[in-house]
Amino acid sequence: MHDPFPVAHFYKSVPAYCCSDADLFFHSHRVALACQCARSSSIKAVFLIDPKQIINQRQLSWLTSSIITSGGILTLQNVMLRISQMDAWYSYFFSALYVCGIAAFFGYLTKHYPEKHIFTITKEVLGRWGGTLVNLIMVFHFWQIVVRDVASISHFSSTLLLHSTPFEILIFLPCFLLMYFGKTSVEVIARVNDLFYPLFMVTILAMPLMLANEFFPRLLTPTLTTPGPQLLTSGFLTLGSAGDLFILGAFLHMLYNSNHVRSSIRHGALLGLFLLTMLLFLIIAVLGPKMPGNFLYPVYNLVQMIHITDFLDRLDLVMLMIWFPTIACKMIAIYLALLIGISSIINEPNYPYLNKPISLLMVVSTILSFKNITEVLSFSNFCSPVIVLAYQPLLVLLIFIVTLVKKRKEPDSQSSASSKAQPHGKKSAQFIGKVSQLLPYSVWRWGGDALIVLCGGCILVGLMFSRHTPLVGIVCGATFAVCFFLTTLTTYMEVTILKQAESGGS
């Protein structure tokens, strides 16, 4: 197959005597570099990104979970608490339905268009002009996400940590980070996320234990007594951060199996939503449903409630040291998706050319977009869901229908290549762990879907009967929590089976 990035042709322009063996490859994704002597000559040093970039299922899952949790940990909780009060922790169920739809859509694209990302697929499906128009809309949305996140983390630092630091400096710091990682690929940030996200997850999962002495279970009752429209409203607002997962379409060419893509995104998204649900549950159980609604950052106030003896009462600083790199990984991943989108529109496959001007544009855009933290939170909480639902469902439906029509007219030869190594029955059971081998892949997958439906059923039953019988609400709430946890566990089993089947078949 023709290599669109001919590294050998690039090195023909560099004198042979000034290149060493170490200059031929940079890291595992083979970023070709011009050597140092080229800087003093008329030859311009450039970065060439290898098109054969690969990330595994675990990296995609954790990157997905990082995008979900980082998008919701600094925003939205106070608004959800003001709307739904003690039932706010049920709101992320609606995002779970949405992210499962996105995962199924990306799996469908990987099956029918292997080794292609969404910007290439839209041009192939909708034509040159239609695909370019859709790509411009997606790039505009990704630009808004990056500006929003840079402004959020800058205002958070200015409000709580660095009061005297000029705000422009706080904006420059994350943008310099974007500029640094913009020369690399998503493989690099996926590995960085592998280092920090497990620590982030451990800190969240350890919070129930660290806050055990601050629990007031009565603050959670009565449960499922909020009017349905209010719960739907808070659930609608959560779709803003769930829609950020659409940036993963820029990395579809890095995985070849549709089941891998679908299961990895499902697992990562549901894991992130489970962590956010648990955080909101802890906020209500510790601080109550009323007071946190008046806080800018209820999660930060929750962390400040941790008191382990008289010597460890400032764990908030330690936990922020772990949370900040995870939020940075999300910003960098979205920034890389933005660069890929822009390079696809202008037909420039080597997106590091665009890195510096786009990162500086992020600085200017962030400074000019928001005047204060109130505008940032208003845009993030209320505008993001509208933007997501304004184009993503229509785009998914349009691509699905056009692809379905095209595949009926011509034989599906591409999807067979992307469907290899799919586990079925006993063939893959011999390669998997003791727990996951009890059931085949299809059972874990459909079992997770059934548990999601059961979660929705618990909410409906509780809303109908808990006002008259409070015990029904308590039972439905407990069942919802267990089913949500089991759903996350079943998606983990899906990823485990696929991983073991791939390693066993290789």
**Residue 428 one-letter amino acid:** S
Sequence-distant (≥ 6) Cβ neighbours of residue 321 within 8 angstroms: none
Half-sphere exposure of 9 (CA within 13 A, CB side): 5
Tokens 């998706």 found at:
337
- For residue 506 the two structure tokens come to 């290789």
In order, the DSSP letters of 226-242 are S-HHHHHHHHHHTHHHH
Whether the Cβ atoms of residue 418 and residue 110 lie closer than 8 Å to each other: yes
Sequence-distant (≥ 6) Cβ neighbours of residue 132 within 8 angstroms: 123, 345
- Identify the residue with better confidence: 475 or 159: 475
Mean pLDDT calculated for residue range 21-26? 38
Say if residue 337's pLDDT is above 90. yes
Tell me how far apart the alpha carbons of residues 454 and 480 are, in angstroms, rounded to a whole number. Answer: 8
Tell me how far apart the alpha carbons of residues 43 and 10 are, in angstroms, rounded to a whole number. Answer: 11
Q: What is the structure's pLDDT at 436?
A: 55
- Identify the residue with better confidence: 172 or 29: 172
In order, the DSSP letters of 385-400 are HHHHHHHHHHHHHHHH
- For residue 117 the two structure tokens come to 């990302």
Mean pLDDT calculated for residue range 354-359? 90
Q: Long-range CB contacts (< 8 A, 24+ apart) of 287-296?
A: 288/216, 288/219, 289/81, 289/85, 289/86, 289/88, 289/219, 290/85, 292/77, 292/78, 292/81, 293/78, 293/79, 293/81, 293/82, 293/85, 294/78, 295/78, 296/78, 296/159, 296/373, 296/377
Q: Long-range CB contacts (< 8 A, 24+ apart) of 475-484?
A: 476/223, 476/224, 477/90, 477/220, 477/223, 477/224, 479/454, 480/90, 480/93, 480/455, 481/281, 483/451, 483/452, 483/454, 483/455, 483/458, 484/93, 484/96, 484/274, 484/277, 484/451, 484/455
Sequence-distant (≥ 6) Cβ neighbours of residue 8 within 8 angstroms: none
Average pLDDT score over the chain? 82
Smallest Cα–Cα separation from 160: which of 288, 306, 317, 287? Answer: 317
Q: What is the structure's pLDDT at 505?
A: 53
Mean pLDDT calculated for residue range 204-214? 89
Mean pLDDT calculated for residue range 163-189? 89
Q: What is the structure's pLDDT at 26?
A: 39
3-class secondary-structure state, position 402: helix
pTM (2 d.p.): 0.84
Give the residue ranges of DSSP H helices in 86-185.
92-112, 118-156, 167-181
Say if residue 7's pLDDT is above 70. no
Give the residue ranges of DSSP H helices in 346-440.
355-369, 373-378, 384-409, 414-418, 425-429
Q: What is the structure's pLDDT at 151?
A: 92
Q: What is the structure's pLDDT at 312?
A: 67
Rounded percentage of the chain residues whose pLDDT exceeds 70: 82
Q: What is the structure's pLDDT at 304?
A: 86
410-449 pLDDT per residue, tens: 655 444 444 444 444 444 434 444 555 667 778 888 888 9
Q: What is the structure's pLDDT at 56?
A: 84
Mean pLDDT calculated for residue range 74-82? 89
Say if residue 323's pLDDT is above 60. yes
Tell me how far apart the alpha carbons of residues 204 and 207 are, in angstroms, rounded to a whole number. Answer: 5
Lowest average pLDDT, out of 9-13, 199-203, 312-316, 419-423, goes to: 9-13
Say if residue 395's pLDDT is above 90. yes
For the chain, count helices (H), then strands (E). Answer: 20, 2
Largest Cα–Cα separation, the chain: 85
